[in-house]
Amino acid sequence: MSDVLTPAAPDASALVADRLLTVAVVGATGAVGLELIGCLERRGFPVGSLKLLASERSAGKTCRFKGRDVVVETLARDSFIGVDVALFATDAAISQVFAPIAAAEGALVVDNSSAFRMHWDIALVVPEVNGALLASRPRIVANPNCVAAIAVTALQPLHARFGMTRLIGSTYQAASGAGAEAMAELRDSTAAYLAGEAFEPKVLPHPYAFNVFSHNTTIDPATGYNGEETKVMDEVRKIMSLPDLRVSVTCVRVPVLRAHSMALTVEFDQPVSVAEAEALLAAAPGVRVVNDAKANHFPMPNEASGADDVLVGRIRQDLSDPTGRTLSLFIAGDQLLKGAALNAVQIAEALAG
Ligand SMILES: NC(=O)c1ccc[n+]([C@@H]2O[C@H](COP(=O)([O-])OP(=O)(O)OC[C@H]3O[C@@H](n4cnc5c(N)ncnc54)[C@H](OP(=O)(O)O)[C@@H]3O)[C@@H](O)[C@H]2O)c1
């Protein structure tokens, strides 16, 4: 690891929370930042002092925390003096610069961006899967891509029992995954469409109302996969410690405001039983089985929105595999929560608790 990522810092065990902590939320005004503030409050994180940081555009705005208004400050190099825990919800370029500064000041850092996720010496953590990595109290912990975090929460209990060997998936990704401005664009473009008015997309590359399009990240000409798909595949392998996992995903945006869905086909190294898979999922932390075939009631993004649990259903044998080793699933999860803010706060709880 480079020096910038291993700053000399006070012993993190000093942070064991028998005292209230000074917590910074960086990118506090964004889609993930606002959820971080909500999760800190809802989960009773031991916040003594809350520092909200964003660009200079937001300086002076306020956000509610525990019934009071906290003023947003402009992010600066000296923002982290005295900060115990820094939760980053900014673009990778900003995290790249400021997360090491926060760590050097002694803060435990959880970063939502992609800046450090695939760094060989940085833990990429979903507590239900590889939370043991937090025992060493690393200075900077990466929070995964939202699709990866939601998928592995559901896959881990099945992998632990049956041994996952191959994963094929398609996603149905909501506007919130692209941030607060994309959510506004979906609302505004839908209103314009219904009013019969022209709408020029500014945040996303294609009309979003009543449309579906391939994820708006750059296609790698060498592989044909876009950036989101590559992140999901790389990060699932890393989080689940399956570097050789055969995995292929197709990532698509759908005009849903919040919560991602995905259809996964999962091959295991031994035959699977649907009943056992359902029982394992029902007992798994962070998972709620929604699998009512009679009522045709399965995971939906409107029911996943605002929920901490990842919803899993449509659990069935993949009939295209005559060996009986393959399951198909449908999943919906709130990617602002388990796919971002909730997972980050769970990591912070493990680090600081
Ligand atoms: N959305 C998701 O579902 C999701 C899931 C997992 C991970 N992530 C990752 O989380 C990060 C934040 O995503 P988001 O969706 O919350 O984005 P967002 O809604 O666009 O929010 C971005 C935040 O960054 C702040 N910011 C922008 N430029 C800044 C600067 N120069 N200095 C300081 N702050 C600055 C913004 O502040 P202003 O309001 O002042 O501009 C805002 O608070 C990204 O890295 C994203 O990839 C997002």
State the pLDDT at residue 353: 78
Residues 242-263 have a mean pLDDT of: 98
Average pLDDT for 239-265:
98
Model confidence at 3: pLDDT above 90: no
Asked whether residue 8 carries a pLDDT value surpassing 60, the answer given is no
Number of residues written out for the chain: 353
- Does ligand 1 have an atom closer than 6 angstroms to the CB of 54? yes
- Residue 215 pLDDT > 50, yes or no? yes
- The residue written with tokens 């982290």 in the block is 80
Give exposure, 99-128, as e/b (b: 16+ Cβ within 10 Å): bbbbbbbbbbbbbbbbbbbeeeebbbbbbb
Identify any residues that bridge with 109 across adjacent strands, giving them in sequence order: 86, 140
Known active-site residue 260: yes
pLDDT per position as a tens digit, 44-72: 999 999 999 999 999 999 999 999 999 99
pLDDT tops 90 at residue 10: no
Task: Give every CB contact of residue 19 below 8 A, 6+ residues apart in sequence.
Answer: 46, 48
Q: How far apart are CA 50 and CA 63, in angstroms?
A: 11
148: its two tokens: 């990866």
Centre of ligand 1 to C-alpha 180, Å, is 8
| pLDDT tier at 19, thresholds 50, 70, 90 | confident
Roughly what angle, to the nearest 10 degrees, separates helices 146-162 and 274-283?
120
326 within ligand 1 shell (Cβ under 6 A): no
Q: Name the residue of 32, 181, 186, 336 whose CB sits within 8 Å of the most ligand 1 atoms, as the mutation to test its pocket.
A: 32
What pLDDT sits at residue 9?
Answer: 41
**pLDDT exceeds 50 at position 5:** no
Mutational pocket test of ligand 1: of 91, 95, 114, 118, the residue with most ligand atoms within 8 Å of the beta carbon: 91
Q: What is the mean pLDDT of residues 291-301?
A: 97
pLDDT of residue 18: 65
Q: What is the pLDDT of residue 320?
A: 97
Angstrom distance (rounded) from CA 59 to CA 321: 57
Q: What is the mean pLDDT of residues 295-299?
A: 98
Q: Which of 286, 295, 297, 290 lies closest to 337 in space, CA to CA?
A: 286
List the structure tokens of 46.
């031991």
pLDDT surpasses 60 at 198: yes
pLDDT at 7: 39
Return the residue whose CA atom lies nearest to atom 32 of ligand 1. 55
- DSSP code for 297: B
Each residue's pLDDT tens digit, 268-285: 999 999 999 999 999 999
Instruction: Indicate whether 1 pLDDT > 70.
Output: no
Show the DSSP H helices in 201-273 as ranges. Answer: 227-239
Atom of ligand 1 nearest to the CA of 179: 15
Burial group, residue 95, by CB count within 10 angstroms (0-12, 13-18, 19+):
buried
124-159 tens-digit pLDDT: 999 999 999 999 999 999 999 999 999 999 999 999
> Is 70 exceeded by the pLDDT of residue 195?
yes
**Distance (Å, whole) CA 348 – CA 51:** 16
For ligand 1, whether the C-beta of 151 sits within 6 Å is no
**In the chain, where do the E strands start and end?**
21-26, 47-54, 62-65, 68-74, 85-88, 108-111, 123-124, 140-142, 164-172, 213-214, 246-250, 252-253, 260-268, 287-289, 310-317, 326-333
Question: 12 pLDDT band (50/70/90 cuts)?
Answer: very low
pLDDT on residue 338: 98
The response to whether residue 89 sits with its C-beta less than 6 Å from ligand 1 reads yes
Rg (CA), the chain: 20
Mean pLDDT of the residues in the chain: 94
CA angle 207, 31, 25 (to 5 degrees): 155
Asked if residue 339 has its Cβ within 6 Å of ligand 1, the reply is yes
Q: Which of 39, 215, 251, 260 is catalytic?
A: 260
Q: What is the pLDDT of residue 6?
A: 38
Burial, 250: exposed, middle or buried (Cβ in 10 Å; 0-12, 13-18, 19+)? Answer: middle
Q: Which of 39, 146, 215, 251 is catalytic?
A: 146
Percent of the chain with pLDDT over 70: 95
pLDDT over 80 at 16, yes or no: no
Can you tell me the mean pLDDT for 206-211? 96
Nearest atom (ligand 1) to Cα of 95: 45
Q: How far is the CA of 233 from the centre of ligand 1 (A)?
A: 23
Residue 28 Cα: closest atom of ligand 1: 43
Q: What is the pLDDT of residues 70-106, one digit of tens each?
A: 999 999 999 999 999 999 999 999 999 999 999 999 9
The pLDDT value given to residue 235: 98
How far is residue 233 from each of residues 95, 144, 318, measured CA to CA in Å? 22, 11, 21
Tell me, using a 6 A CB cutoff, whether residue 77 lines ligand 1.
no
